[in-house]
Amino acid sequence: MAVAPALAVSGAALGGAVVRAPRPTGGGGERRRPSPSLLSFGRAGPFAPGGGAAVGGSRRRGAVRAAAASGKVVVPEGENDGLTSSADSASAQFPSDELEVPDITEDQMESSETMIGALEADAEALNREVLRSALQDGPRTVPPPGDGQKIFQIDSMLNGYKYHLEYRYSLYRRIRSDIDEHEGGLEAFSRSYEKFGFNRSAEGVTYREWAPGAHSAALVGDFNNWDPNADRMSKNDFGVWEVFLPNNADGSSPIPHGSRVKVRMDTPSGIKDSIPAWIKYSVQAPGAIPYDGIYYDPPEEVKHVFKHPQPKRPKSLRIYETHVGMSSPEPKINTYANFRDDVLPRIKKLGYNAVQIMAIQEHSYYGSFGYHVTNFFAPSSRFGTPEDLKSLIDRAHELGLLVLMDVVHSHASSNTLDGLNGFDGTDTHYFHSGPRGHHWMWDSRLFNYGHWEVLRFLLSNARWWLEEYKFDGFRFDGVTSMMYTHHGLQVAFTGNFNEYFGFATDVDAVVYLMLMNDLVHGLYPEAVTIGEDVSGMPTFALPVQDGGVGFDYRLHMAVADKWIELMKQSDESWKMADIVHTLTNRRWLEKCVTYSESHDQALVGDKTIAFWLMDKDMYDFMALDRPSTPTIDRGIALHKMIRLITMGLGGEGYLNFMGNEFGHPEWIDFPRGPQRLPSGKFIPGNNNSYDKCRRRFDLGDADYLRYHGMQEFDRAMQHVEEKYGFMTDEHQYISRKHEEDKVIVFEKGDLVFVFNFHCNNSYFDYRVGCRRSGVYKVVLDSDAGLFGGFGRIHHTAEHFTDGSHDNRPHSFSVYTPSRTCVVYAPADTITPEESSEESK
């Protein structure tokens, strides 16, 4: 195992005394009258109607996150020779649904399941309660590290990789200790935005920037007529540049709110003007290509004051994935304000309890979907001001919705004029040098997570969004790319532990993720962290104190891949066991957010599930006043079934990309002009059109279209989960996976789910097993007329249990029509109002 490089505190080697540079005295003489504020360009809305062209070679990020190749990468073996194949690692997965059920009493079964559920939940609940109490009683601090040993109790197979995992944990503990010693702890370290960038005091404005490669630096902007000699900066021994600007004679700020600002540096690659790395706001002036940094310090009467408390973390997470810019039915860039007023109430009505927002961090290229970040601390100005974003989040909290940010710490835009790339004129500032610092597929720069100042920057960035904007957590993008030096490209992960704990693992990156999760959960116990990892690394979603990486959830990305694979086949050939295995193949005690499709499948060049199923028929046969087609009937039926079985078996959380709930008929195509790649390949543009960069919510709302029935089914599905909490119920049992009948039956809590995937066969008096005796009634039926079905099931019917079946202690008979899914609940859990509503 290679030893991690020595870290540095602001450039000083660890272990030595930390020397603070003396604070320079104010200089620069009398302040000049500033030029007009750039904020005056767009008081009524976003500054630029369109996204700027790529700067410095930035390109749209491809939809493929971790491409599987024809072969797999040979990963060096770990310390345990001859260790596991994917089949050998089955003990680390969920218990098999094929287990025989002995003749035990219901009380024994309930007691056993309750105990298992308690074991899963007690540590998490206790830790959150202790942290919450600590925050109420005194200053916020991140709890000290644990011993990191519990992961070996959870999965004994990890003992074969104990050297790697203990080295990882020892590095994490060492950095935590060094931060405590030299920075005053993780809590203080993560508030470095109070030292770096622009900070206002009663005496004036201090600006600091880490740029060790620069030979000289000066702050320039509208406020000093861009004079590089007016406000020259001094550099300390650790590469930090600083300048203090005293207040004007009348006590006003030396830099007016809304002024354009940049830092001019003489660097090894020449003189360059850069947007400050810690800038809080940046805009693209009309007609310009690179963005301008903006000094953002609005008057108190303009600042948004949060009025509503942040919601508690729900047990079952139901996420509505969104993009503010394309959230309008009209072909335009939407605003934070419109999203707040029009989209948030829709999300609430649909029954979701969390909204995940993409493309918040500023990105100069709109077509990157927000993944080529240029300014990490600045919210995208295309959609409005920082105060507008705060108002959006406050309104979401009023509605009881968590707001999760799709944050990008896996890479950065390769732009040099308005991004971090080459900031101080070197190739190594914030990033690895050479090929390791460049992502060849995404054309972006890759952070050096082993550098002290990178840790400061990224940890402070996570803290900033939680503290300043009151986000309730994060979905971390591209985590697989972070954790492996091969970035998950051209690698087929098979489940062999050597693939996770070998020389291809970027231990520095994994330790950064541990520190980040430590920080977030320590200071904000209710916050949620979700990691986008396709590899399935063991310990990914286990607490840091126990030796895990610390995420609350892993995105269960294999599920969407499986559905797209099945879309290319006739549903007559689908294997029930294969579907169930993919949905349930996840590690014990490591929670997952599942989804049948996300924004990736909606991008131009790919297809959504609805488009795979119905194709061009969607354009001509979705109106209720004209006959349907077999293609439409099949597509609508399977669309509903796929979504419900994914939610039912796929994980402890569920995600849907906006519009997909009703089978949005259009793909996503960002406005773009023609491009010629460095390889010489020509890519035609779309005349910078916004026509396919929007969401046609009007289609789902139109009760004369079949889209409406699909939307209503999704809404009913969310509300059933809200009432019964079946995603996180500790009881799950799959009693039937019948290949000939094409039937899947499973229990979640007290609910019984019955899926009939057969294209033709409907079954009368079909017996299904259950754990609880009594009377069952329908609580959700995909075949209901309201949901675009044929109404073949009587919702008022009562189903009485009678005898055992499929190794279950009780059972009842149902009618299961072809291509339907029905959920049954004990009658005593259904209110008269719900029963009346369901019978319609």
Of the listed ranges 48-52, 261-265, 653-657, the one predicted with least confidence: 48-52
Residue 522: the pLDDT is 96
pTM for the predicted model, two decimal places: 0.85
Q: How confident is the model at residue 24 (pLDDT cuts 50, 70, 90)?
A: very low
Q: In this model, does residue 211 exceed pLDDT 80?
A: yes
Residue 840 pLDDT greater than 70, yes or no: no
- Residue 735 in contact with residue 807, Cβ under 8 Å? yes
The pLDDT of residue 684 is 86
Phi, psi of 317 (to 5 degrees): -100, 120
Catalytic residues, by residue number, are 477, 532
Tell me phi and psi for residue 266, to 5 degrees. Answer: -95, 110
Contact status, residue 282 vs residue 375, Cβ threshold 8 Å: yes
pLDDT of 20 reads: 29
How much is the pLDDT for 66? 33
- In this predicted model, what pLDDT tens digit does every residue of 447-504 receive, in sequence order? 999 999 999 999 999 999 999 999 999 999 999 999 999 999 989 999 999 999 999 9
Q: Quick check: 104 pLDDT over 60?
A: no
Among residues 363, 300, 282, 251, the alpha carbon closest in space to that of 39 is found at 282
Q: What values do phi and psi take at 499, rounded to 5?
A: -70, -25
At the topology level, CATH places domain 1-9+156-184+447-551 in TIM Barrel (3.20.20)
Identify the three-state secondary structure at position 376. Answer: strand
Express as a percent the part of the chain with pLDDT over 90.
75
For residue 119, the model assigns a pLDDT of 46
In this predicted structure, what is the pLDDT of residue 674? 86
- Residue recorded with tokens 């009663």: 202
| Residue indicated by tokens 């009258």 | 33
The more confidently predicted of residues 22 and 690 is: 690
Cβ–Cβ < 8 Å for 405, 476: no
Per-residue pLDDT tens for 742-796?
999 999 999 999 999 999 999 999 999 999 999 999 999 999 999 999 999 999 9
How many whole angstroms separate alpha carbon 343 and alpha carbon 777? 34
HSE (CB half, 13 Å, CA atoms) of 163?
12
CA distances to 18, 231, 430 from 237, in Å:
11, 20, 18
For residue 754, the SS3 value is strand
DSSP H or E segment with residue 523: helix 507-523
Q: Considering only CA atoms, which of 289, 537, 329 is closest in space to residue 418?
A: 289
Average of per-residue pLDDT across 691-706: 94
What are the tens digits of pLDDT across the range 722-731?
999 999 999 9
Q: Read off the pLDDT of each residue in 265-279 and give the average, rounded to a whole number.
A: 96
Give the pLDDT mean for 707-717.
98
CA angle in degrees (0–180, nearest 5) for 572-578-583: 120
Each residue's pLDDT tens digit, 244-257:
999 999 999 999 99
Q: What is the mean pLDDT of the chain?
A: 85
Domain positions in the chain: 1-9+156-184+447-551, 187-303, 732-838
Report the range of poorest mean pLDDT among 133-147, 494-508, 613-627, 633-647.
133-147
* pLDDT given at position 669: 87
Better pLDDT: 285 or 69 = 285
> Which homologous superfamily is 732-838 in?
Golgi alpha-mannosidase II (2.60.40.1180)
Q: Integer distance in angstroms from the first to the last C-alpha of the chain?
A: 65
Q: Residues, the chain, total?
A: 840
Average pLDDT over residues 275-282: 98
Q: What is the mean pLDDT of residues 150-173?
A: 97
Q: Is the pLDDT of residue 17 over 60?
A: no
**Is pLDDT at 135 greater than 90 in this prediction?**
no
Query: What is the rounded average pLDDT of the residues 596-615?
Result: 85
Cα gap 24→3, rounded to integer Å: 38
Confidence of residue 118 (pLDDT cuts 50, 70, 90): very low
For residue 479, CA distances in Å to 470, 531, 551, 565, 594 come to 23, 6, 11, 23, 16
Q: Return d(Cα 321, Cα 758) in angstroms, integer.
A: 31
CB 545 within 8 A of CB 145: yes
pLDDT exceeds 50 at position 67? no
| pLDDT of 439 above 80 | yes
pLDDT of residue 90: 34
Mean pLDDT for 98-125 is 44
Q: What pLDDT is stored for residue 831 in this prediction?
A: 82
**Residue 659 confidence (pLDDT) above 50:** yes
pLDDT for 296 beyond 90: yes
Q: What is the CATH number of domain 187-303?
A: 2.60.40.10
pLDDT at 365: 87
Find the mean pLDDT for residues 530-548: 97
Tens digit of each residue's pLDDT (9 = 90 or more) over 545-599: 999 999 999 999 999 999 999 999 999 999 999 999 999 999 999 999 999 998 8
- Give the separation between CA 481 and CA 513, rounded to whole angstroms: 12
Asked, colleague to colleague, whether 187-303 and 732-838 share their fold, the answer is yes
pLDDT value, residue 47: 29
Average pLDDT for 679-701: 89
